[in-house]
Amino acid sequence: MQLRIYQQSWPIAGAFTISRGSRTEARIVLVELLESGFTGRGECVPYTRYGETIESVTTQISNLSEKINQGMTRQELNELLPAGAARNALDCALWDLECKRKGCSIWSLLDIEPHSVTSAYTLSLDTPEKMHEKAVEHQHRPLLKLKLAGKGDLERVQAVRQGSPQARIIVDANEGWTPEIYQELIPELVKLNVEMIEQPLPADQDSILSEFEHPITLCADESCHTRKDLHRLKGRYEMINIKIDKTGGLTEALELKAQAEQSGFKIMVGCMLGTSLSMAPAFTLAQSAHIVDLDGPLLLAEDRPNGFSYTTASEMQLLKPQLWG
């Protein structure tokens, strides 16, 4: 098995801003695994929040070249690398390669009957006035996800609700709130019919959530990476956000989803900001998720060939086999 690694940059349509900063490009690492005339592909998005860079992830992958040449399996990969972007790219490339070699689809391998899913559409963090304008522009979308940061968040949600009165609204604080902000905002967000709050507090400070009332579903993002995290999330959250760049690939993501469901958690399937190749493995997880947030390609200025098609209502059409799986 031969390894190829590419570092790529994909321009964002405008800018993408969350509580931790703003950017205008999505930087990704693309992996190709070649064997017997077949090519498996996987894409990952290194994330600085988890200490990852394009260079560090590329090095992690390159260091496994010899193991890959010897025919490394997904099980061996999970023992060789920790959960994270590098393992994700390789794991997804191995799944894709298996589909190509066997001449079957990912749906056959996973025994899933696929269908289209509706994704949330993300409104980047901005002033209430700007977010109102975006809400009006995208009021045809049934599910809006708002990036928040703390100060001024109530005004932001009010502005979006006014601009898109019929939409379902979920919000993501990206660890940007304090316990005091949480307690102040909750009653008002209930009035605004917000149905889910993602990662309100920093991951290392979220134990206090078990002491608060949860009239709105709380979803763990930065606090949940793999199955090992589930035991401490009970009582703090009702939902987890599964992202394959956090789990280190589809293999662990499938196990995490199954165990989380058995433990009574609802499932959200999310993404980092990448191309349709990043969304493709996650699309298999999204088939039975409560909330899907796979709008990465909609936020880019351009996408890969054979990428996902989205309706104006953010409905993701079926995965194209030419893309992945």
State residue 196's pLDDT score. 98
State residue 15's pLDDT score. 79
State residue 17's pLDDT score. 83
State residue 21's pLDDT score. 76
Q: Say which CATH superfamily domain 2-104 falls into.
A: Enolase-like, N-terminal domain (3.30.390.10)
Query: In the numeric block, which tokens belong to residue 168?
Result: 């379902």
State residue 136's pLDDT score. 98
Positions of the chain with pLDDT under 50: none
Phi, psi of 189 (to 5 degrees): -70, -30
Q: Catalytic amino acids?
A: 147, 243
Residues of the chain with CATH 3.30.390.10: 2-104
Note the pTM of the prediction, 2 decimals: 0.96
Could you confirm whether domain 117-316 is CATH 3.90.1150.10?
no
Residues of the chain with CATH 3.20.20.120: 117-316
Q: What would the 3-class secondary structure string for the chain be?
A: CEEEEEEEEEEEEEEEEECCEEEEEEEEEEEEEEECCEEEEEEECCCHHHCCCHHHHHHHHHCCHHHHHCCCCHHHHHHHCCCCHHHHHHHHHHHHHHHHHHCCCHHHHHCCCCCCEECCEEECCCCHHHHHHHHHHCCCCCEEEEECCCCCHHHHHHHHHHHCCCCEEEEECCCCCCHHHHHHHHHHHHHCCEEEEECCCCHHHHHHHHHCCCCCEEEECCCCCCHHHHHHCECCECEEEECHHHHCCHHHHHHHHHHHHHCCCEEEECCCCCCHHHHHHHHHHHHHCCEECCCHHHHECCCCCCCCCECCCCEECCCCCCCCC
Q: Cβ neighbours of residue 161 under 8 Å, at least 6 residues apart?
A: 135, 169, 192, 193
State residue 16's pLDDT score. 87
